[in-house]
Amino acid sequence: MPDAEHPQLRTFGRIKARPIKPRQAALLETLLPRLRVPAEPFDPRALAPAAREIWLEIGFGGGEHMAAQAQRHPDVLILGAEPFQNGVASALRHIDEQGLQNVRLQDGDARELIGHLPDASIARAFILFPDPWPKTRHHKRRLVNAETLADLARVLQPGGRLRFASDVAHYVDWALERIIASPAFRWSAERADDWRRPAADHVTTRYEEKRLGDCAPVFLDFVRI
């Protein structure tokens, strides 16, 4: 377990890029404190007692997918984690413009949020286009690893679903190898189109449309056994 002398390796890169626009900066000061999840163990049901399910998006980028799913499913509470400040600011804009009441945020490492969640509290988890850390010496920083998968297995309900997507071929192979090696997950694909085409409920974002990777987007869906 990580400690002060042996901290967890970062699985994300920079936390801020261009200057944040004034309106979004204001939302960071006013809206984010109201949406931020507790910085200690908590029961997400207490945040939204009427929620049908609790979903988790790890690394929500600019928040497009998270906001769209929240709008489509107002009876679901979506927890989102993102360390990139510009992304958090963008997500807050989406939340504010759409008047979403069913989103709560962690503006930091998703692994901290997962560590604060109770067992079997999450029905769905999304890891969409995470930092691929393409250099071989940095592969150890990839989010999909045995430790993170064990943590996800703990918080996902039996029958809960995990979706991983990437447009980096090596990371797709990496993730598939590690997730199917876990006894906690079953790959749900039955035919090639199940990973070559996005599921009907997927939300395509502007980032995904840029096709910055080296292959067409691949979508891997798993079930918590």
* Residues 51 and 74: beta-carbon distance below 8 Å: no
**Sheet (strand 53-58) strand order:** 103-106, 76-81, 53-58, 122-128, 156-166, 218-224, 185-187
131 is a catalytic site residue: yes
Catalytic option among 43, 107, 109, 131: 131
Q: How far is CA 54 from CA 46, 68, 88, 118, 125, in A?
A: 11, 15, 20, 12, 9
Q: How many CB atoms lie within 10 A of CB 93?
A: 17
DSSP structural state of residue 5: S
What is residue 149's three-state secondary structure? Answer: helix
Positions marked active-site: 131
